Amino acid sequence: MEDMIVYRLGESCDLEEVEEGKTYLGWVQGFAPFGIFVQLNNRIKGLVHKSNVKMQHSERDPIIVRVIQIRSNGNIDLEEVTPTVYQTRNVTKKTAGVLLSNIGKKIGRTVMIEGEIAQIKQTSGPTIFTIVDESSTGNAAAFIEAGVRAYPEVELGDIVALTGEVMQRNNQLQIEVASMMVLESEDAARVRERIDAALDERAEPPDIPFLVESEVLEALRPQMRQVAREIRKAVLTSRPIILRHHADADGICAAVAIEQAVTSLIRESGGDFDAEYFLFKRSPSKAPFYEIEDVTRDLDFALKDHARYGQKMPMILLMDNGSTDEDIPSLKVTRIYDLPVMVVDHHHPDRSVDEYLIGHVNPYHVGGDYGITAGMLGTEIARLVNPVVEDQIRHLPAIAAVGDRSEAPERDRYLALVASEYSEDDCRDIALALDYEQFWLRFSDGREIVKDILNLGGDPVRHEKLVDLLVEEANRAIEEQMEAIMPHIESRVLPNGVHLFMLDVELFAHRFTFPPPGKTAGEVHDRLIRDLPGEPVVTLGFGPDFVVLRSRGVMMNIPRMVRELRTEIVGGGVSGGGHLVVGSIKFVEGMRDAVLESLIQKIGEAPI
């Protein structure tokens, strides 16, 4: 035997939503000698004649009633029923639905919206519900009393039908909620299917050519479109995005390109005036991989925002990191919390990370290498996310290419693309300014400062003055570091003819200032190779528990060397990685001599 269906009328329902013969859930409103008055909602009242009352009641008691008759004058005759087993179904007002994209034409009028709840934010006044339908995103304000949660039965991710008046407050459209009801499974499935189909279509990236010709980029196009599609879908459904990137010029260019595309898309999609700040967070990572410290910070912020502001849990986008075994401990944490993760990187990848990702763009997957920088990839993906930002960001790949010392043919093509506005020297200066400023920003994104450095802040005069100043300060710091360390460099020639240079950056370099050890080793390496044109050169900058490597003309594979050292040196605590010929290695301080000796032996055996 099927359960009885008991209907619950929504607050906006009128008499036309009440049907004879159906059973409704109401509450006792009052008593009379001839029966009980029952409210079916705040608008509709009926009478249960005393002959049809089955139980004793008090005022405000819930009661289940069947509609016997609806009289021509609007009076409703009811009888009490007492089912032991029943299902409740919500009834909404039979109003033609309106798409959120069209409510700007309905100011001052009552509308009905069907959509998914994407955020529930309790303010000191009303409860603000962010709702997403197939066309846009909007906010609905519901008020019971100051600071009290309205519609506590409505949860994040529910499909609802709400009615209310469209208002304009602080130049923002908002619906003042009259009623809101969570749709039952059948109706919810219908609405969700409609939203999902429309979102899939809206999230599809445009089919546009890349800024430059590139076989590698063309081979990566499907993966790049997949990442762009997921980013667009996250924006359209108000899912926050946390973008983690390596804290160097290449990583910053990649991330800022995406930042420009995402924040503009958030504004276009109907987000609040400050939505771009709480729906998108860009965070630099000191290491070129996703450290446990990074994921712990990200998760802490995400869980607090979820609890305090009713936000969805975020999507994680890793740029210029995320491709190696070193990322797996953090990726395992993201899996526990069901956080979708994507990677856009040009470090030599390990296949083991792919099981944790929903998207992975890496030139090595299609026969390319690290010469296709993260800044190139990020800019092209940003154009797929939102093409309107192209004119703002088209110079970022050239800066990234110069800053990351790319030797790929795409480097010259991107430089040629912007040569009339930015010379190669300009790009080199901007890259150095980024590295210098990020050193002092530490873990902060410096969003507005970085935009000025990259000439995205709308004030080209300030951009030029700022870059000039930062480059002057950076070069002064570099010269001071070089004066201190160059006299202490040790050199030797290895059996394979490699010129090896070693510098102890712990003893002979200024610490806790710019340039850091990696940059210091790079600057020393650049000066040394100028004195040895055409010769194979490797530079090692080491401290108590780390070594950074820079090389030219030597066929090394640093990730493989790290794996071998980890196995061969018991108790060495070896970890690290990077590109094939540029990277860093960590170890325990007491095993430094053993690690360095074994590392030098491997370099001496590498082909030239």
What is the per-residue pLDDT across 72-86, written as a single tens digit (0 to 9) for each? 888 999 999 999 889
In tens, the pLDDT along 423-432 reads 999 999 999 9
Residue 252 has pLDDT above 80, yes or no: yes
The average pLDDT across 247-273 equals 89
Give the chain's mean pLDDT.
Answer: 93
What count of Cα atoms within 13 Å lies in the side-chain half-sphere of residue 450?
Answer: 30
The average pLDDT across 200-210 equals 95
Confidence at 559, pLDDT banded by 50, 70, 90 = confident
What count of Cα atoms within 13 Å lies in the side-chain half-sphere of residue 48?
Answer: 27
The average pLDDT across 571-581 equals 84
Confidence at 438, pLDDT banded by 50, 70, 90 = very high
The average pLDDT across 117-134 equals 93
- Please give the pLDDT value at position 580: 74
The average pLDDT across 190-199 equals 93
* Percent residues over pLDDT 90 in the chain: 80
Instruction: For residue 30, count CB atoms less than 10 angstroms from its CB and return exposed for 0-12, middle for 13-18, buried for 19 or more.
Output: exposed
- Please give the pLDDT value at position 70: 94
More confident residue, 308 or 380: 380
Predicted TM-score (pTM) of this structure? 0.82
Closest CA to 359 of 265, 241, 251: 241
- Please give the pLDDT value at position 259: 97
Residue 337 has pLDDT above 90, yes or no: yes
- Please give the pLDDT value at position 422: 98
Residue 273 has pLDDT above 60, yes or no: no
More confident residue, 10 or 207: 207
Closest CA to 540 of 552, 560, 525: 525
The average pLDDT across 206-218 equals 97
Residue 95 has pLDDT above 80, yes or no: no
Confidence at 490, pLDDT banded by 50, 70, 90 = very high
Q: What tokens appear for 271 in the block?
A: 């987000």
> With the C-alpha atoms ordered 458, 344, 436, 430, is the resulting torsion angle positive or negative?
negative
**410 phi and psi angles, rounded to 5 deg:** -65, -25
Give the best-scoring range by mean pLDDT among 38-42, 272-276, 463-467, 548-552.
463-467
Residue 185 has pLDDT above 90, yes or no: no
Closest CA to 348 of 376, 326, 330, 333: 326
- Please give the pLDDT value at position 604: 95
Confidence at 272, pLDDT banded by 50, 70, 90 = low
More confident residue, 168 or 395: 395
Residue 2 has pLDDT above 80, yes or no: no
Q: Which of 23-37, 176-190, 324-338, 440-454 shows the lowest per-residue confidence on average (mean pLDDT)?
A: 176-190
Residue 277 has pLDDT above 90, yes or no: no
| Distance between CA atoms of residues 588 and 358, nearest Å | 35
The average pLDDT across 441-448 equals 92
Q: Which residues contact 375 (CB under 8 A, 6 or more apart)?
A: 249, 250, 251, 253, 254, 257, 396, 397, 399, 400, 401, 403, 404
Confidence at 271, pLDDT banded by 50, 70, 90 = low
Contact 579, 347 (CB under 8 A): yes
Contact 265, 202 (CB under 8 A): no
- Please give the pLDDT value at position 287: 81
User: What domains are there in the chain, each with its CATH number?
Assistant: 4-91 (2.40.50.140), 100-202 (2.40.50.140), 204-465 (3.90.1640.30), 489-605 (3.10.310.40)
Q: Which of 85-99, 255-269, 335-349, 522-536 shows the lowest per-residue confidence on average (mean pLDDT)?
A: 85-99
